Structure formats: C-alpha cells, structure tokens
Structure 1
Amino acid sequence: MHSNEFQKFLEIISAECFPVLGKSIAKTKYAPIDLSESNPELTDEDLSSTAKFTEFINNHLKTHKASVAYGGYLEQRNIYKRSRYFNAENTESRNIHLGIDLWCAAETPVYAPLDGVVHSFKNNTNFGDYGPTIILKHNINGVAFFTLYGHLSLASITNLKVGQNFKKGTIVGALGSASVNGDYPPHLHFQIIKDLQDFIGDYPGVCRKSDLTFYESNCLKPDLLLRL
C-alpha cells in the first residue's frame, strides 16, 4: 500500500480509535507545544538539563491550564544534541522527530487505540533513548501496520509477552519517570510505522534530514489516528 493510500486508510479508521491517554482527559486539556530549533522561546532555555526541561514543560502546562502538551511530528530539534546516541557516527546528526510526543504526568495510563497484539518490546537504555518501549501490530480490514509506545515505565514491560492481545481501549502501560525513560520529562512517544523493517522492540524515532523522504512515507503523521 502506497503512503497516500495508507494515509486515507488511517483517516477512515481514526473514527474508531480510543484516545491513547484515555477518555478521562478532555481534549480541551491538551495544549500544543513547539520544541523545534526555530522556536525563539527556547533560545535561553537549557534543555540539556532534565530538571530545566521538566520545568519548561510544567510551566507550559500551567500557562495553558492543560494536562497534556502535545506535538513534535517532523520537528527539527536541538534537544538531541545532549545525547551522543543521536550523533554517535560523527556524520549528519539525527534531529528530526518522527512521532508525536504527549507530555504529561508519570504513571499516566496508555491505552491501545485499536485492537492489536504485542509485536515486541524492549528497554532501550541509551541516554536519550526510549527507555521501556512496546510495539503493537494491528491488522485492520486486512491492512497490517504498527504503533510504537516509547518512554514507558518498567512495570509496563515486566510481565508482557510477545503475541499478547490488547483490545481497543485497554491499558497497554504507563508513562515512566526520567529515571527510566531515557532521561526526559515524562511523556509518551507515539509513532505509526507502516514497515517495521525487522526491528525488534525499537524503531528510529528521530532521523537525519537526508533520510526524511523515506521516513515521512513510512511513519505517517500520528494525528491521522489521534485527531488532536
């Protein structure tokens, strides 16, 4: 299925989706946030410090009277400069974000938006990485694709099994704290993946500009499902 067809498919099934952070958080409590390198508000912010980063997120939530700050799809960000994981090859840096981030309190439950099975899971422990991560495989009307949930709690993957079923609207896991989630303020990284390319428990959530054409067609805009 070509990316344009896949996009239309996602738009159609989005009406069936359960909110990934549950129904108890009203959409009026979601506020967009811009973490791109072009945002002048970040010029004087030291987001290399997790404490300062957390303070920035919390102030944004307070200012907007929100429970969740969201955004980030295809944002070019400076925050990855703090981690060698994104610059390990001393070539072109990976700094373009491929999912949507939902910044909110640690232990916030994460729900399956659609029926799915656990394809794989892993604790990705590099500094700045996903931490505990779950990938669900969905097969809707004969179309197979994947959703990735990063920066979860350790408990989210402790008793998990490959092939385990999750019905739409059931809890998949919960958000982890900075101590386990790659050293970020608590948030969910949610990503749609058309072709998982044999990855297990992991998939790039940040890419180089030179690879963007491929990833933009393989990791479509998450809001096609989330409708925020």
Structure 2
Amino acid sequence: MNTIRDILQQTESAKVIANHIDYADYVALDLSVTNTDLAGESLTAAKDYEHYIQRYLDNHQAQIAFGGYNETRNLYQRSAVFKNENTDERNIHIGLDLWINEAAPIYAALEGKIHSFQNNEALGDYGPTIILEHEIEGCKFHTLYGHLSLESLKDKKVGQPIAKGEQIAELGLPPVNGDYAPHLHFQIIIDMENKKGDYPGVCSSKTLAFYLQNCPDPNLLLKIK
C-alpha cells in the first residue's frame, strides 16, 4: 500500500499561489539561523521583512521566494505564541512559505472539502486560516493555508467541496495576517489531532521527529525545482 509520501510524489504538481507565475520565476529563500546574511539586517517588524524580501527578489530577478521546511528560525522570538515560561521554544518551521509582496490569489492544491477555518489572531500566528481535507487511495490527509485575508473566510462552510486549482482565498497583508510580510504558509498534515482551524506550523526540537512524520515536506506535492 502506498504511503502518503508515495501518493504525494506520484501526484501531478500543484500551484497554490498566483498560478500565472511560472516556477522558473521562483527563488529559494533561507531564513534560518545559519544564514549569515540575516545577521546584518534589522528584521523586527513586518515592513522590515517586506523590504528584505523585495530586495532579495529583485537581486535574483524572481517574483516568488519559497522555502522554510524543517528550518530553524529566529523570527518567532517576538511572539509569546512560540515561547513562554511554561513551554519549550518553538522555532523550527514545518510548512513551506511562499513570499510575494503583492496581492495574490490562493488555490486548492488538491480536490477535497473544507475541514475547518478560523482567524488565529495572536501576534505572529496564522491570521485567517483555511484547512482542507483530502482522500487519495484511501489515505486521508489535510492541507493548511495560513496568512490569508479576512475576506477569505467569508461564505465558507465546513464540508464544502473544493476542486483542485479552485481559488479558495486571497493572500493577507499585515497586521491581519499575523503581522508578517505577505506570504502563504502551506502545510501538509496527516493527523489533525482533533484540531480545527489551526495546527502548529512551528515546533520545538523535542517534538520535531513527530511533526516531520505527521507533516511531510509540502514540496513533494508542489514540486518546485
């Protein structure tokens, strides 16, 4: 029997943002703690990241920057969502980010139905979020779309059928999107653990093994080269 990873690898590639932009116009972006280029940058607010990412896109003659799966980052330190006195610091990103400094439509990666949705309003959180449920070859899994616009949640219904490639949302802007530079957080989740409208997109080193198993690399499906 095929595993979820087998199924994702065998599935036709999917675009989830601005499908008029070719993958040739994407560039990989490293926001990890090991990227020495970030050391000289003042990146404390959404506007700082917008400027940094736009320079990065311009320097690489690209339109979308992508990356971040299993990447340890410093950018979550401003938010109590990821660290407080009662929890381990969560700073390892387990989705894939697609950064674009403009309004952009968001599309369903696969055929499915709406599992849940909500506005995760805390600073540094997802903001408006939609989660879809899919089933292929008897295997159920989910895709999460975070940092959307508020309008994206209007007229949505749990169980609503969704076609592959159907526009389901618009990209959100700060501060509504959790106060980040505009980007889509896209994540694959096998077991939702009874959560609705939200699921961790960042984990601690202690829980990393579990989340890497439960949240496969989204690029298995997107297939960005």
Pairing partner for 1:7 from 5, 8, 11 = 5
Deviation of 1:51 (Å):
1.5
Query: SS at the partner of 1:107?
Result: coil
Tell me if 1:130 matches 2:126: yes
Task: Name stretches of at least 5 consecutive residues in structure 1 with no aligned partner.
Answer: none
**For each residue in 1:64-104, what CA deviation from the matched residue of structure 2 results, as whole angstroms up to 9, or x when unmatched?**
11110000001000000111111124442000000000001
More helix by share: 1
Question: Contact conserved, 2:50 with 2:101, CA < 8 A, in 1?
Answer: no
**TM-score for the superposition, normalised by structure 1:** 0.95
Equivalent residue number for residue 71 of structure 1: 67
Query: SS at the partner of 1:79?
Result: coil
Equivalent residue number for residue 84 of structure 2: 88
* Alignment: residue pair count: 224
In 2: Cα distance, 1:18 partner to 1:166 partner: 14
Tell me if 1:158 matches 2:151: no
Tell me if 1:168 matches 2:181: no
In 1: Cα distance, 2:197 partner to 2:172 partner: 16
In 1: Cα distance, 2:213 partner to 2:85 partner: 24
201-210 vs 41-50, which deviates more?
A: 41-50
Equivalent residue number for residue 187 of structure 1: 183
Letter aligned with residue 7 of structure 1: R
Letter aligned with residue 32 of structure 1: A
Task: Name stretches of at least 5 consecutive residues in structure 2 with no aligned partner.
Answer: none
Q: Given the superposition, is the C-alpha separation of residues 118 and 180 from structure 1 closer, same or farther in structure 2, using an over 3 Å criterion? A: same
Tell me if 1:204 matches 2:200: yes
Deviation of 1:9 (Å):
1.8
Q: CA RMSD in A?
A: 1.3
Pairing partner for 2:20 from 12, 17, 24 = 24
Query: SS at the partner of 2:184?
Result: strand
In 1: Cα distance, 2:151 partner to 2:117 partner: 12
